[in-house]
């Protein structure tokens, strides 16, 4: 057993845990934040993606003890974040979610893409989403949602126009 001390969604969290507990299971089972979904448990599907010190990671293959002293941000940790609000609104407008299983990981990855890459096009978004699987939407609506937010942030499309473009 080891005590893990992290900042989870801005709050200090300290818990004694088994050394072999994944970060995903720590967040879900020990902190009761179930927005992080666990799919493949091998780091392949991307459903469990969270931000660890502002970088996207697959929480199913990261040990919670490896996150000791770090900041973890789950899908529940974006209250008041303007970029995430824009991403969620675009996902809603573009119907970029259906069953919702991949959505937390997709949102975290979209946030990372939009935060990190100033010059985005459809092909670059597709490459960046390569580690996130969605079995429902066919990806087109997810890519369009990310493109919408990128265009809005670049000032090339006013936010009202985005609503009409999606209709």
Q: What is the pLDDT of residues 4-16, one digit of tens each?
A: 999 999 999 999 9
Same domain, 89 and 160: yes
- Residue 64 sits in a domain whose CATH number is 3.10.20.30
Q: How confident is the model at residue 157 (pLDDT cuts 50, 70, 90)?
A: low
Task: Report the percentage of the chain scoring pLDDT > 90.
Answer: 76
What's residue 161's pLDDT? 44
Query: With helix as H, strand as E and coil as C, how does 73-95 read?
Result: ECHHHCCCCHHHHHHHHHHHHCC
Whether 29 contacts 93, CB under 8 Å: no
What's residue 163's pLDDT? 45
Report how many domains make up the chain. Answer: 2
Same domain, 50 and 86: no
Q: How confident is the model at residue 101 (pLDDT cuts 50, 70, 90)?
A: confident
Arithmetic mean of pLDDT, 138-160: 83
- Average model confidence (pLDDT) across the chain: 90
Same domain, 17 and 34: yes
**Single residue among 14, 43, 77 that ends a domain in this structure:** 77
Separation of alpha carbons 109 and 93, rounded Å: 18
Say what the pTM is: 0.87
**Single residue among 43, 77, 111 that ends a domain in this structure:** 77
Give pLDDT tens digits for 63-84: 999 999 999 999 999 999 999 9
Domain boundaries, position 154: 82-166
Same domain, 47 and 120: no
Same domain, 99 and 137: yes
**If we measure between CA atoms, which residue out of 111, 104, 131, 132 comes closest to residue 33?**
104
Q: Which pair of tokens denotes residue 36?
A: 């992080």
- Identify the three-state secondary structure at position 98: coil
What are the residues whose beta carbons fall under 8 Å from the beta carbon of 20, sequence distance 6 or more?
63
Same domain, 145 and 90: yes
What's residue 166's pLDDT? 43
Same domain, 22 and 59: yes
């Amino acid at each position: 057993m080891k005590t893990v001390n992290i900042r989870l969604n801005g709050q200090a969290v300290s818990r004694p845990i088994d050394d072999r507990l994944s970060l995903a299971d720590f967040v879900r089972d020990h902190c009761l934040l179930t927005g992080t979904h666990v799919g493949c448990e091998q780091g392949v599907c991307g459903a469990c993606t969270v931000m660890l010190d502002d970088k996207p990671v697959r929480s199913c293959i990261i040990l919670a003890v490896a996150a000791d002293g770090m900041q973890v941000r789950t899908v529940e940790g974006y209250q008041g974040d303007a970029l995430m609000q824009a991403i969620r609104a675009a996902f809603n407008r573009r119907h970029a979610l259906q069953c919702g299983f991949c959505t937390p990981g997709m949102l975290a990855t979209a946030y990372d893409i939009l935060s990190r890459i100033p010059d985005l096009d459809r092909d670059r978004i597709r490459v960046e989403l390569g580690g996130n699987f969605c079995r429902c939407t066919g990806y087109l609506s997810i890519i369009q949602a990310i493109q919408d937010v990128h265009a809005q942030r670049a000032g090339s499309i006013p936010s009202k126009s985005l609503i009409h473009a999606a209709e």
